[in-house]
A and B are shown apart, each in its own frame.
Chain A
Amino acid sequence: MDERQLQKIFNRVPAPGNDGAALEGILERVGRARRRRLVVRAATALVVIIAVGFGSFQLFEALRPPGQLVITDDDVTDADGPGGSGTANQQLPAEIRALRDDWQAGRIEIDWPPAPYDEPMASLAWMSLDELFGWMEDMALSPEVTAYLRDDADSEPLLTAIRSWPEVTAARFVSRDEALARLLEDVENPEILSNLPTNPLPNSIEIAVGTQDAASVVGERLQARPEVDEARWSADTSRAAEGALVWLRTHAHPAGEGTGSEDPATGDYLRITGQSLGEADVETAGLMLQNQFFPALLQGDLERLRSMLVAERRGEASALLKDAQAHVESAGPEAVSGGSFRPLVWTGEKYAWDPPLPVPSGLDTWIKEHPESRLGFQVITGDNVLWWFGMERFVDVPWLVWPGPRDEEYRNTHTLAELQSLVLEATPRPGVHVQFRLRQIPDSASVSADLVIENKSDSAFVLRASDLGLVIDGATPRFLSMPHSPGVLEVGPGETIGAGNGWMWGLDGPTSTSTRLSYTPSDPESEKRTWVVQTPEPH
């Protein structure tokens, strides 16, 4: 059979029936997508401006499309915990400034503007990073209260009352028209707001107060007033800043190194700088190890979870495996693990690639002694950085992930073998137990990450988190498919997902028998949770 015969056979592949109907369908979907994009942009622009003036993190939440909640827990954030958004938490502005300083000094780079999948941050792309940092600092520092009024509220008596309160230093009525005018003035592209059918902004009263404590007092007092639809005060503004900070952290990386990201238009997975994977099929659990996986899961942010699916390289993993195995054979496990982890620490004052704190040989001890510190790690085998990620204790969502630099200095200082494993557990709502487990597989270059979700309640819940992991074939070192559903997964009473086979990440290796460090909530029912270190137990 020659080329011409083959061509003839291919010519018989059927063509679609109706191009016109297809075109119509496409145009309709394009229209919908454009309208949604416009609304998101407009709404996000509103968020920024309102946030600048008033603070409104909740609007960020409101922008999230409906029906995407995975496991919701509005109380998951302990505002006054380490890294939290509470007014008492003085670390936030310091951290913002530190991150900005590092960026300005060229020590780190931040992927900016945000990729479109990072909505709502994507819609902030018209801000420069300088402006964003300024905004965040304002958010973190401003002791201010805003009362959004009901449509039928009489503002005058309320304004008079507010001015009489001892905590208040100034109060001003802002009409909805003025708010919109301010918005149009401040936003760089006012035309994106021109299609709003009505002015969505409410009348409001802006109140200046002397202290953060006073903001809470006044805010709570206003919340109880019938004229007030909603009161926002500095805790909210801090949270807005914190939200942006979390985003920036996760998109920050050492200068000269990149991070992986997905091109939302093509679906291609791009740029895994620092890795030399060839065409290795790393349909990776990077989403687990990349930034914010855990908070995103707890907050039910499906879009963000999807965005964390970082790397896909097609083909064979043999080149990578061969290299890694050769390195293991020549240098031994210690050399591999010695190059595996390197801490990146937020000291409370600055980000330190070179931690000034002495880190003892047992990382678990170090974590106990420095609960506010944040660690970053990278996994290296031979000359290949397989992945880098960080972990950050972040309120009761204990660890965030973070890219870390490669630095020879820390070889043999913090080893994978010393960490052995880390188990992070949460009860996002009563009866639902989530466990994230990271462990080293001894004598190999492997790290495994398991996620176990157990429904201890007497009713089913729906899990929508997609693509939660990767299975490594134990006998043959190759990457297999993801075991998890991308769609809706109902977890019935008493059911456990992810137990048994686990979802592993890394290269192949024998089953771990290492001990583990476990964190469990001391009081799952309580809003404020503390994490205690359990006695290491055999895994």
Chain B
Amino acid sequence: MGTSGEERRLTEIESAGVKGGEPRARLGYSSPEALFRAHYSQLVRVLTAVSADGEAAADAVQEAFVQLWLNWDKVAEYDAPVAWVHRVALNRLRNQHRALGRLTRALARLGRERAPADPPPSSPLLAALSTLPYKQRVAVSLHFISGFTIAETAEAMGISPWSVNQHLSRGRAKLQDLLKEA
């Protein structure tokens, strides 16, 4: 029985994500600091790509690492502590954005001034990414920056591998079109 196109694509992406040896999200670390040193910068880049806001990204990532330190005993035993910290950071980032949106809307309802609009993204990539739906943005960012496999991405995003595959495929296709135009 032949392999379906979707399965093949999934296999390709899985292979691309595991660049030699153990999947990176499942690597064990001896301390939170070791994990920080290995992934802080990369994680900020992922969140910068997702949010087009380096400062907000750094804030969210730092909050995630604070949680990592505080919960290290537990997290160290997880299969994928790296995916965990990604997930926490992404949630924090999303919460920040939601909070900001709610505040803006509430102020608007009260007749107060709206907060100034966000500055435009600083690069064509970030601009293109910002037009993608949130999950597509996250999926492609985790794939291209963190080098996550489908399974790792699914774990970091808290959704099924199947959904990741969908988001990744659509996001990548759309991104290619957008960047081609740019």
Contacts and interface: CB of A to CB of B under 8 A. Distances in A.
Interface of A: 1, 3, 6-7, 9-10, 12-16, 19, 22-23, 25-27, 29-30, 33-34, 37, 265-268, 279, 314, 466-467, 481-487, 489, 495, 497
A3 to B, nearest CB: 7
Contacts of B172: 6
Interface in B55-105: 57-58, 61-62, 65-67, 69-71, 84, 87-88, 91-92, 95, 98-99, 101-103, 105
A267 B57 CA distance: 16
Top 5 A-B pairs ranked by shortest CB distance?
A485-B106, A267-B91, A10-B144, A30-B69, A16-B44
Interface in B159-182: 159, 163, 172, 175-176, 179-180
Interface string B24-54: 0000000001001100111011001100001
Main secondary structure of the interface of A (DSSP, over half): loop
Interface residues of B, number: 53
A268 B69 contact: no
Contact of A485 (B16, B92, B102, B163): B102
B140 to A, nearest CB: 8
A14 B103 contact: no
A23 B36 contact: yes
Nearest to B141: A10
Given A19-B40, A22-B62, A266-B91, 8 more contacts: A13-B48, A29-B62, A29-B66, A268-B91, A467-B102, A481-B98, A481-B102, A486-B98
A487 B48 contact: no
Interface of B: 16, 33, 36-37, 40-42, 44-45, 48-49, 54, 57-58, 61-62, 65-67, 69-71, 84, 87-88, 91-92, 95, 98-99, 101-103, 105-107, 109-110, 123, 125-126, 135, 141, 144-145, 158-159, 163, 172, 175-176, 179-180
Contacts of A37: 70
Given A30-B70, A33-B66, A13 B101 contact: no
Contacts of B176: 1, 6
Contacts of A14: 45, 48, 54
Nearest to B122: A14
A15 B135 contact: no
A266 B102 contact: no
A10 B125 contact: yes
Given A15-B45, A266-B87, A266-B91, A486 B58 contact: no
Contact of B102 (A6, A27, A484, A497): A484
B49 A3 contact: no
A469 to B, nearest CB: 10
Contacts, number: 118
Contact of A26 (B62, B98, B144, B179): B62
B49 A33 contact: no
B84 A6 contact: no
Contact of A268 (B110, B141, B144, B158): B158
Contacts of A483: 102, 105-106, 109
A265 B85 CA distance: 10
A147 B87 CA distance: 51
B135 to A, nearest CB: 7
B95 A267 contact: yes
B92 A7 contact: no
B125 A13 contact: yes
B175 A487 contact: no
A305 B145 CA distance: 37
A467 B98 CA distance: 10
Contact of B65 (A26, A279, A484): A26
14 contacts: A1-B179, A6-B175, A9-B125, A13-B126, A14-B45, A14-B48, A15-B44, A19-B40, A23-B40, A26-B66, A30-B70, A481-B105, A485-B102, A485-B107
A30 B66 contact: yes
Contacts of A7: 144
A22 B62 CA distance: 7
A16 to B, nearest CB: 4
B145 A10 contact: yes
B157 to A, nearest CB: 9
A265 B49 contact: no
A391 B97 CA distance: 33
Contacts of A265: 67, 70-71, 88
B145 A485 contact: no
Given A12-B123, A266-B84, A33 B44 contact: no
A26 B99 contact: no
A14, A33, A489 — most chain B CB neighbours (10 Å): A14
A211 B166 CA distance: 70
Contacts of A467: 102
Nearest to B65: A26
Nearest to A270: B158
A181 B37 CA distance: 44
Nearest to A15: B41
Nearest to A501: B109
A487 B69 CA distance: 27
Contacts of A34: 70
Contacts of B125: 9-10, 12-13
Contact of B99 (A23, A314, A486): A486
B40 A22 contact: yes
Nearest to A264: B67
A27 B61 CA distance: 13
A268 B159 CA distance: 12
Given A3-B16, A6-B144, A22 B37 contact: no
